[in-house]
């Protein structure tokens, strides 16, 4: 369940936005002032903050930065408030949501902030390889043991983690996810363990970290293999002692959390290389669930494609259309190096581009498969770059990747291998120079 904090009165258009979000499964909290919003984010926390431009959006963002709280902020207000919208985005707001709200924009906003919703968390599976994984997951879902979820990028590790939580005895308690690769070390430490007032410059009050926010429930540590060894040691202590030491704290805080960890790395190889603690590895690897890449579960390709076609037709207010036999054949024959995420993007595009009663092959735009090992790649791609500057090539690559991902910044950053912050900085530079940058489909950019 997504956790949404609304800064502003729950009346009129903003109240309607809250009810729409609730209808999509979000848990709503409300604050009347920036200090009250910061107080909530220090305690229960939220996956997303929706702040009306009648409040000081920049002050909220400054407070989050000063207190090392990583919560995305979306500004909102009447469509005619263009100057306030620009100011909010320049101050660091992720997006601007026009009011009165549109239900589809609300849905896209929540999905962008929190990945998948609880309603969509059940994995789609028909292939024996994936059914075997789900059978093993069902065996351990109600246990308290830590679970290590492995698999290539885009295979659906967070979806499986949410499925485990929903089937566990902790299902009524919070599910909290944290991407360990998305934050710098100092911010990640505060996000995980929280801090006491005065722990560092800007820590004006005590703040609960993700372990405390997930108390009684489940904490997913995504991309755990990217974590600094110093923080690995602190994670190990929390697992062993079931207590958290806040930054600047004098006494530990007891927590009751089930740990799920996910990684696309070979953690045992990382242990051998000295980059991951062996003792933490064995604490996390009580049960291992390996998600097979999509190429190893071919019977899931078409059921997943049909699932995404229905989802994105509904999300965009379009009629549901079946995939034509030729479109199905095209999807089934593709190797899907980007796994389920690539398939989702391809079907989303097809839903938007298709014309007629069916989704035909002309709407299916697929990324060419990479060259096989030992195969000589065509030289034309490299030759086409000769004579161009690195900045020009980088710009075209970034804008092209954003277009491929329908404007989704998180996915584009993953494909490009850069941080979301670095991507946003590039986008700001391009916009400042007058270039058009693809907007995230489904909500304002």
For residue 370, pLDDT over 60 is answered with: no
Give just the sign of the alpha carbon dihedral 252, 256, 262, 266: positive
Q: Are 191 and 46 in contact (CB under 8 A)?
A: no
Rank 168-172, 180-184, 379-383 by mean pLDDT and report only the highest.
168-172
Q: What are phi and psi of 364, to 5 degrees?
A: -90, 105
For residue 3, pLDDT over 70 is answered with: yes
pLDDT for 302: 96
Span 150-166, average pLDDT? 93
Alpha carbons 213 and 221: distance in angstroms, whole number = 13
Alpha carbons 315 and 160: distance in angstroms, whole number = 22
Rank 95-99, 106-110, 379-383 by mean pLDDT and report only the highest.
95-99
Q: What percent of the chain has pLDDT over 70?
A: 90
Q: Which residues contact 424 (CB under 8 A, 6 or more apart)?
A: 409
Tokens of 306: 């049909």
What angle, rounded to 10 degrees, do the helices at 301-315 and 339-353 form?
50
Q: Supply the pTM of this predicted model.
A: 0.70
pLDDT band per the 50, 70, 90 thresholds, residue 372: very low
Q: Are 423 and 394 in contact (CB under 8 A)?
A: no
For residue 378, pLDDT over 50 is answered with: no
Alpha carbons 412 and 395: distance in angstroms, whole number = 13
The H or E element spanning position 287 is: strand 287-290
Structure confidence by residue, pLDDT tens digits, 197-241: 888 888 888 889 999 999 999 999 999 998 988 899 999 999 999
| C-alpha separations of 90 from 34, 47, 84, 110, 307 in Å | 18, 21, 10, 21, 37
Q: In 106-255, where do the E strands start and end?
A: 147-150, 175-179, 218-222, 243-244, 253-254
Structure confidence by residue, pLDDT tens digits, 120-140: 457 899 999 999 999 999 999
Tokens of 23: 């209808």
Instruction: Name all domains of the chain by residue range, CATH numbers in brackets.
Output: 3-118 (3.40.50.2300), 124-292 (3.40.50.300), 295-363 (1.10.8.60), 380-432 (1.10.10.60)
Q: Which residues contact 114 (CB under 8 A, 6 or more apart)?
A: 2, 3, 47, 48, 177
- Tell me whether strands 243-244 and 253-254 are parallel, antiparallel or unpaired: antiparallel
pLDDT for 34: 94
Span 395-410, average pLDDT? 79
| C-alpha separations of 222 from 92, 158, 159, 259, 345 in Å | 24, 8, 11, 11, 21
pLDDT for 201: 84
Alpha carbons 422 and 316: distance in angstroms, whole number = 30
Q: Any idea which residue has 């959390």 for tokens?
A: 257
Q: Which residues contact 320 (CB under 8 A, 6 or more apart)?
A: 309, 310, 313, 314
Q: Which residues contact 389 (CB under 8 A, 6 or more apart)?
A: none
For residue 373, pLDDT over 50 is answered with: no
Q: Are 351 and 314 in contact (CB under 8 A)?
A: no
Q: Are 313 and 349 in contact (CB under 8 A)?
A: no
Structure confidence by residue, pLDDT tens digits, 46-69: 889 999 999 999 999 999 988 888
Q: In 22-68, where do the E strands start and end?
A: 27-31, 48-52
Alpha carbons 219 and 229: distance in angstroms, whole number = 19
Alpha carbons 42 and 246: distance in angstroms, whole number = 12
Alpha carbons 107 and 120: distance in angstroms, whole number = 12
Give percent helix, percent strand, percent coil of the chain, each to the nearest 5: 45, 15, 40
């Amino acid at each position: 369940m997504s956790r949404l904090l609304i800064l502003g009165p729950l009346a009129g258009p903003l109240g309607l936005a809250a009810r729409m979000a609730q209808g999509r499964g979000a848990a709503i909290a409300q604050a009347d002032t920036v200090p009250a919003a910061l107080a909530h984010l220090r305690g229960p926390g939220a996956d997303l903050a929706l702040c009306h431009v009648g409040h000081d959006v920049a002050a909220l963002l400054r407070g989050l930065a000063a207190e090392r709280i990583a919560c995305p902020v979306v500004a909102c207000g009447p469509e005619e408030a263009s100057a306030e919208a620009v100011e909010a985005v320049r101050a660091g707001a992720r997006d601007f949501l026009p009011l009165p709200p549109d239900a589809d924009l609300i849905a896209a906003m929540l999905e962008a902030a929190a990945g998948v919703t609880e309603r969509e968390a059940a994995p789609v599976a028909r292939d024996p390889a994936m059914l075997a994984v789900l059978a093993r997951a069902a065996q351990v879902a109600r246990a308290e043991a830590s679970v290590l979820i492995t698999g290539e990028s885009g295979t659906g590790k967070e979806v499986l983690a949410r499925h485990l939580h929903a089937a566990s005895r902790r299902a009524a308690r919070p599910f909290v996810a944290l991407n360990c690769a998305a934050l710098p070390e100092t911010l990640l430490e505060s996000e995980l363990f929280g801090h006491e007032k005065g722990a560092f410059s800007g820590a004006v009050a005590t703040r609960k970290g993700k372990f405390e926010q997930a108390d009684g429930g489940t904490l997913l540590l995504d991309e755990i293999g990217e974590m600094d060894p110093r923080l690995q040691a602190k994670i190990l202590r929390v697992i062993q002692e079931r207590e958290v030491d806040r930054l600047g704290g004098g006494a530990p805080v007891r927590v009751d959390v089930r740990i799920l960890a996910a990684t696309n790395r070979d953690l045992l190889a990382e242990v051998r290389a000295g980059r991951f603690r062996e003792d933490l590895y064995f604490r996390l690897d009580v049960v291992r669930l390996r998600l097979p890449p999509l190429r190893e579960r071919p019977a899931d390709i078409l059921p997943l494609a049909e699932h995404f076609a229905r989802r994105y037709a509904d999300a965009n207010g379009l009629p549901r259309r079946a995939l034509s036999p030729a479109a199905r054949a095209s999807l089934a024959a593709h190797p899907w190096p980007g796994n389920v995420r690539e398939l989702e993007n391809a079907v989303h595009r097809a839903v938007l581009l298709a014309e007629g009663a069916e989704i035909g092959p002309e709407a299916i735009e697929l990324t060419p498969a990479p060259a096989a090992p030992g195969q000589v790649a065509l030289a034309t791609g490299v030759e086409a770059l000769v004579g161009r500057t690195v900045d020009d090539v980088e710009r075209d690559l970034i804008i092209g990747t954003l277009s491929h991902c329908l404007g989704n910044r998180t996915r584009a950053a993953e494909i490009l291998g850069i941080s979301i912050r670095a991507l946003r900085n590039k986008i700001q530079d391009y916009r400042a120079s007058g270039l058009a940058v693809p907007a995230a489909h489904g909500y304002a950019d």
